[in-house]
Protein backbone atom coordinates (compact mmCIF):
# COMPACT_ATOMS: atom_id res chain seq x y z
CA UNK A 1 0.00 0.00 0.00
CA UNK A 2 1.41 3.40 -0.90
CA UNK A 3 1.64 6.26 1.60
CA UNK A 4 -1.00 8.36 -0.19
CA UNK A 5 -3.58 5.61 0.30
CA UNK A 6 -2.74 5.30 4.00
CA UNK A 7 -3.03 9.06 4.50
CA UNK A 8 -6.35 9.15 2.65
CA UNK A 9 -7.80 6.26 4.64
CA UNK A 10 -6.87 7.97 7.93
CA UNK A 11 -7.48 11.66 7.30
CA UNK A 12 -10.78 11.37 5.40
CA UNK A 13 -12.76 9.41 8.01
CA UNK A 14 -11.07 11.30 10.87
CA UNK A 15 -12.15 14.69 9.52
CA UNK A 16 -15.63 13.34 8.87
CA UNK A 17 -16.04 12.07 12.43
CA UNK A 18 -14.59 15.30 13.82
CA UNK A 19 -17.09 17.31 11.81
CA UNK A 20 -19.96 15.19 13.14
CA UNK A 21 -19.11 15.24 16.84
CA UNK A 22 -16.80 18.27 17.09
CA UNK A 23 -19.46 20.42 18.76
CA UNK A 24 -20.48 17.72 21.20
CA UNK A 25 -23.23 16.20 19.03
CA UNK A 26 -23.82 12.48 19.69
CA UNK A 27 -22.59 10.17 16.93
CA UNK A 28 -25.83 8.19 17.03
CA UNK A 29 -27.76 11.07 15.48
CA UNK A 30 -25.89 10.40 12.23
CA UNK A 31 -26.82 6.72 12.14
CA UNK A 32 -30.04 5.53 10.51
CA UNK A 33 -30.20 1.93 9.36
CA UNK A 34 -33.12 2.29 6.89
CA UNK A 35 -31.15 5.07 5.19
CA UNK A 36 -28.09 2.82 5.00
CA UNK A 37 -30.24 0.08 3.47
CA UNK A 38 -31.69 2.42 0.83
CA UNK A 39 -28.31 3.77 -0.29
CA UNK A 40 -26.35 0.52 0.01
CA UNK A 41 -29.11 -1.67 -1.38
CA UNK A 42 -29.93 0.78 -4.15
CA UNK A 43 -26.32 1.13 -5.30
CA UNK A 44 -25.87 -2.66 -5.20
CA UNK A 45 -29.08 -3.12 -7.21
CA UNK A 46 -27.83 -0.67 -9.84
CA UNK A 47 -24.53 -2.55 -10.04
CA UNK A 48 -26.31 -5.91 -10.43
CA UNK A 49 -28.50 -4.50 -13.19
CA UNK A 50 -25.54 -2.91 -14.98
CA UNK A 51 -22.92 -5.68 -14.71
CA UNK A 52 -22.79 -9.49 -14.75
CA UNK A 53 -22.78 -11.11 -11.31
CA UNK A 54 -19.21 -12.36 -11.80
CA UNK A 55 -17.98 -8.75 -12.11
CA UNK A 56 -19.87 -7.63 -9.01
CA UNK A 57 -18.45 -10.53 -6.99
CA UNK A 58 -14.95 -9.38 -7.91
CA UNK A 59 -15.41 -6.08 -6.03
CA UNK A 60 -13.28 -7.11 -2.99
CA UNK A 61 -10.45 -8.22 -5.29
CA UNK A 62 -10.71 -4.99 -7.28
CA UNK A 63 -10.57 -2.88 -4.10
CA UNK A 64 -7.54 -4.86 -2.90
CA UNK A 65 -5.81 -4.26 -6.23
CA UNK A 66 -6.56 -0.53 -6.09
CA UNK A 67 -5.43 0.00 -2.51
CA UNK A 68 -2.66 -2.51 -1.88
CA UNK A 69 -0.91 -3.44 -5.14
CA UNK A 70 2.34 -1.64 -5.76
CA UNK A 71 3.62 -1.12 -9.27
CA UNK A 72 7.09 -2.39 -10.01
CA UNK A 73 9.96 0.10 -10.22
CA UNK A 74 10.66 0.63 -13.96
CA UNK A 75 14.38 1.18 -13.29
CA UNK A 76 14.63 -2.22 -11.65
CA UNK A 77 12.71 -3.81 -14.52
CA UNK A 78 15.01 -2.27 -17.14
CA UNK A 79 18.06 -3.58 -15.29
CA UNK A 80 16.54 -7.07 -15.24
CA UNK A 81 15.77 -6.97 -18.96
CA UNK A 82 19.29 -5.73 -19.72
CA UNK A 83 20.63 -8.63 -17.65
CA UNK A 84 18.57 -11.07 -19.74
CA UNK A 85 19.93 -9.43 -22.89
CA UNK A 86 23.49 -9.92 -21.60
CA UNK A 87 22.82 -13.59 -20.84
CA UNK A 88 21.24 -14.15 -24.26
CA UNK A 89 24.11 -12.34 -25.98
CA UNK A 90 26.76 -14.29 -24.11
CA UNK A 91 25.24 -17.79 -23.86
CA UNK A 92 22.52 -17.78 -26.49
CA UNK A 93 18.82 -17.09 -26.10
CA UNK A 94 18.10 -20.72 -25.15
CA UNK A 95 20.03 -20.11 -21.91
CA UNK A 96 17.19 -17.85 -20.73
CA UNK A 97 15.01 -20.91 -20.21
CA UNK A 98 16.70 -21.44 -16.85
CA UNK A 99 15.89 -17.85 -15.83
CA UNK A 100 12.16 -18.21 -16.52
CA UNK A 101 11.64 -20.23 -13.33
CA UNK A 102 12.72 -17.28 -11.18
CA UNK A 103 10.54 -14.65 -12.92
CA UNK A 104 7.37 -13.74 -11.04
CA UNK A 105 5.72 -11.61 -13.74
CA UNK A 106 3.59 -13.93 -15.91
CA UNK A 107 3.62 -11.44 -18.79
CA UNK A 108 7.42 -11.39 -18.83
CA UNK A 109 7.55 -15.19 -18.51
CA UNK A 110 5.26 -15.54 -21.51
CA UNK A 111 7.37 -13.21 -23.64
CA UNK A 112 10.72 -14.77 -22.71
CA UNK A 113 9.36 -18.29 -23.19
CA UNK A 114 8.09 -17.49 -26.68
CA UNK A 115 11.46 -15.96 -27.55
CA UNK A 116 13.26 -19.07 -26.26
CA UNK A 117 10.92 -21.30 -28.27
CA UNK A 118 11.86 -19.47 -31.45
CA UNK A 119 8.41 -18.01 -32.08
CA UNK A 120 8.20 -15.59 -35.00
CA UNK A 121 8.85 -12.00 -33.74
CA UNK A 122 5.68 -10.62 -35.30
CA UNK A 123 3.64 -13.36 -33.64
CA UNK A 124 5.27 -12.67 -30.26
CA UNK A 125 4.39 -8.99 -30.56
CA UNK A 126 0.83 -9.76 -31.66
CA UNK A 127 0.24 -12.18 -28.77
CA UNK A 128 1.68 -9.81 -26.14
CA UNK A 129 -0.30 -6.84 -27.48
CA UNK A 130 -3.49 -8.93 -27.43
CA UNK A 131 -2.77 -9.79 -23.81
CA UNK A 132 -2.25 -6.09 -23.06
CA UNK A 133 -5.64 -5.31 -24.61
CA UNK A 134 -7.28 -8.01 -22.47
CA UNK A 135 -5.65 -6.68 -19.29
CA UNK A 136 -6.73 -3.14 -20.10
CA UNK A 137 -10.29 -4.30 -20.72
CA UNK A 138 -10.41 -6.10 -17.36
CA UNK A 139 -9.11 -3.01 -15.60
CA UNK A 140 -11.68 -0.89 -17.42
CA UNK A 141 -14.49 -3.13 -16.18
CA UNK A 142 -13.40 -2.68 -12.57
CA UNK A 143 -13.20 1.09 -12.94
CA UNK A 144 -16.59 1.22 -14.68
CA UNK A 145 -18.18 -0.70 -11.80
CA UNK A 146 -17.00 1.83 -9.23
CA UNK A 147 -17.93 4.72 -11.51
CA UNK A 148 -21.38 3.15 -11.58
CA UNK A 149 -21.56 3.02 -7.78
CA UNK A 150 -20.38 6.62 -7.57
CA UNK A 151 -23.07 7.69 -10.02
CA UNK A 152 -26.03 5.91 -8.48
CA UNK A 153 -25.30 6.14 -4.73
CA UNK A 154 -26.13 9.89 -4.56
CA UNK A 155 -29.27 9.28 -6.63
CA UNK A 156 -30.51 6.66 -4.18
CA UNK A 157 -29.56 9.01 -1.37
CA UNK A 158 -31.91 11.59 -2.87
CA UNK A 159 -34.62 8.95 -3.30
CA UNK A 160 -34.27 8.05 0.37
CA UNK A 161 -34.57 11.71 1.31
CA UNK A 162 -37.76 12.04 -0.73
CA UNK A 163 -39.18 8.96 0.98
CA UNK A 164 -38.38 10.46 4.36
CA UNK A 165 -39.96 13.79 3.42
CA UNK A 166 -43.13 12.09 2.22
CA UNK A 167 -43.40 10.17 5.49
CA UNK A 168 -42.73 13.32 7.48
CA UNK A 169 -45.28 15.44 5.61
CA UNK A 170 -47.88 12.68 5.89
CA UNK A 171 -47.64 12.90 9.68
CA UNK A 172 -47.73 16.58 10.64
CA UNK A 173 -49.89 16.13 13.72
CA UNK A 174 -46.89 16.71 16.01
CA UNK A 175 -44.90 19.78 14.85
CA UNK A 176 -42.17 19.06 17.40
CA UNK A 177 -41.18 15.99 15.41
CA UNK A 178 -40.72 17.81 12.10
CA UNK A 179 -37.10 18.77 12.78
CA UNK A 180 -36.08 15.24 13.74
CA UNK A 181 -37.93 13.81 10.74
CA UNK A 182 -36.19 16.23 8.40
CA UNK A 183 -32.79 15.31 9.87
CA UNK A 184 -33.39 11.60 9.31
CA UNK A 185 -34.62 12.27 5.77
CA UNK A 186 -31.44 14.16 4.93
CA UNK A 187 -29.19 11.36 6.20
CA UNK A 188 -29.72 9.30 3.04
CA UNK A 189 -28.45 12.19 0.91
CA UNK A 190 -25.38 12.37 3.14
CA UNK A 191 -24.82 8.61 2.93
CA UNK A 192 -25.09 8.71 -0.86
CA UNK A 193 -22.57 11.54 -1.09
CA UNK A 194 -20.18 9.73 1.25
CA UNK A 195 -20.34 6.44 -0.67
CA UNK A 196 -19.67 8.26 -3.92
CA UNK A 197 -17.00 10.73 -2.83
CA UNK A 198 -15.15 8.88 -0.07
CA UNK A 199 -15.22 5.42 -1.59
CA UNK A 200 -16.53 4.65 -5.08
CA UNK A 201 -15.11 7.52 -7.14
CA UNK A 202 -11.70 7.61 -5.38
CA UNK A 203 -11.34 3.85 -5.88
CA UNK A 204 -12.28 4.26 -9.56
CA UNK A 205 -9.63 6.96 -9.96
CA UNK A 206 -7.06 4.81 -8.14
CA UNK A 207 -7.88 1.88 -10.44
CA UNK A 208 -7.36 4.09 -13.48
CA UNK A 209 -3.97 5.15 -12.11
CA UNK A 210 -2.96 1.57 -11.27
CA UNK A 211 -4.02 0.44 -14.75
CA UNK A 212 -1.98 3.18 -16.39
CA UNK A 213 1.08 2.26 -14.32
CA UNK A 214 0.72 -1.46 -15.05
CA UNK A 215 0.28 -0.89 -18.79
CA UNK A 216 3.40 1.29 -18.75
CA UNK A 217 5.41 -1.49 -17.10
CA UNK A 218 4.11 -4.09 -19.53
CA UNK A 219 4.96 -1.90 -22.52
CA UNK A 220 8.55 -1.82 -21.25
CA UNK A 221 8.48 -5.61 -20.96
CA UNK A 222 7.09 -5.98 -24.48
CA UNK A 223 9.78 -3.77 -26.02
CA UNK A 224 12.47 -5.46 -23.93
CA UNK A 225 11.42 -8.94 -25.02
CA UNK A 226 11.35 -7.89 -28.68
CA UNK A 227 14.84 -6.37 -28.36
CA UNK A 228 16.20 -9.50 -26.67
CA UNK A 229 14.59 -11.73 -29.28
CA UNK A 230 16.16 -9.74 -32.10
CA UNK A 231 19.60 -10.15 -30.48
CA UNK A 232 20.23 -6.47 -29.78
CA UNK A 233 23.35 -5.46 -27.90
CA UNK A 234 22.56 -5.06 -24.15
CA UNK A 235 23.58 -1.38 -24.32
CA UNK A 236 21.14 -0.86 -27.18
CA UNK A 237 18.42 -2.65 -25.18
CA UNK A 238 19.09 -0.36 -22.25
CA UNK A 239 18.94 2.77 -24.41
CA UNK A 240 15.72 1.64 -26.07
CA UNK A 241 14.02 0.99 -22.74
CA UNK A 242 15.26 4.19 -21.12
CA UNK A 243 13.31 6.18 -23.68
CA UNK A 244 10.19 5.21 -21.69
CA UNK A 245 11.51 7.10 -18.64
CA UNK A 246 11.71 10.82 -17.92
CA UNK A 247 15.23 12.24 -17.99
CA UNK A 248 15.42 12.48 -14.18
CA UNK A 249 14.57 8.79 -13.80
CA UNK A 250 17.10 7.81 -16.46
CA UNK A 251 19.81 9.50 -14.39
CA UNK A 252 18.73 7.69 -11.24
CA UNK A 253 18.81 4.39 -13.12
CA UNK A 254 22.41 5.02 -14.21
CA UNK A 255 23.45 5.88 -10.66
CA UNK A 256 21.78 2.77 -9.28
CA UNK A 257 23.49 0.58 -11.85
CA UNK A 258 26.87 2.15 -11.03
CA UNK A 259 26.30 1.60 -7.31
**What are 137-195's pLDDT values in tens digits?**
988 998 999 999 999 999 999 999 998 888 888 777 777 767 767 877 889 999 999 99
Cα(27)–Cα(17) distance, rounded to whole angstroms?
8
Q: What is the pLDDT of residues 71-84, one digit of tens each?
A: 788 999 999 999 99
Task: Say if CB 87 and CB 228 are below 8 A apart.
Answer: no
Task: Say if CB 107 and CB 131 are below 8 A apart.
Answer: yes
- Cβ within 8 Å of residue 34, ≥6 positions away: 160
pLDDT at 253 over 50: no
Binned at pLDDT 50, 70 and 90, residue 8 comes out as: confident
pLDDT at 128 over 90: yes
> Pick from 55, 89, 110, 87: which is nearest to 225 by CA?
110
Q: What share of the chain is helix, strand, coil (3-state, %, to 5)?
A: 85, 0, 15
pTM value is 0.82
Amino acid sequence: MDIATIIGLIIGPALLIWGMIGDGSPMKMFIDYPSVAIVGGGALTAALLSFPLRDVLKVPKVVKHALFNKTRDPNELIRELVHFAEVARRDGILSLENSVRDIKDDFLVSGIQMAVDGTDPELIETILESELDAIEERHGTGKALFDNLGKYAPAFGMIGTLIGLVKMLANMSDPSQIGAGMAVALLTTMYGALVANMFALPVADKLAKRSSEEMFIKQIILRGVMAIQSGDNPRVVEQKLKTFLPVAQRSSAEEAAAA
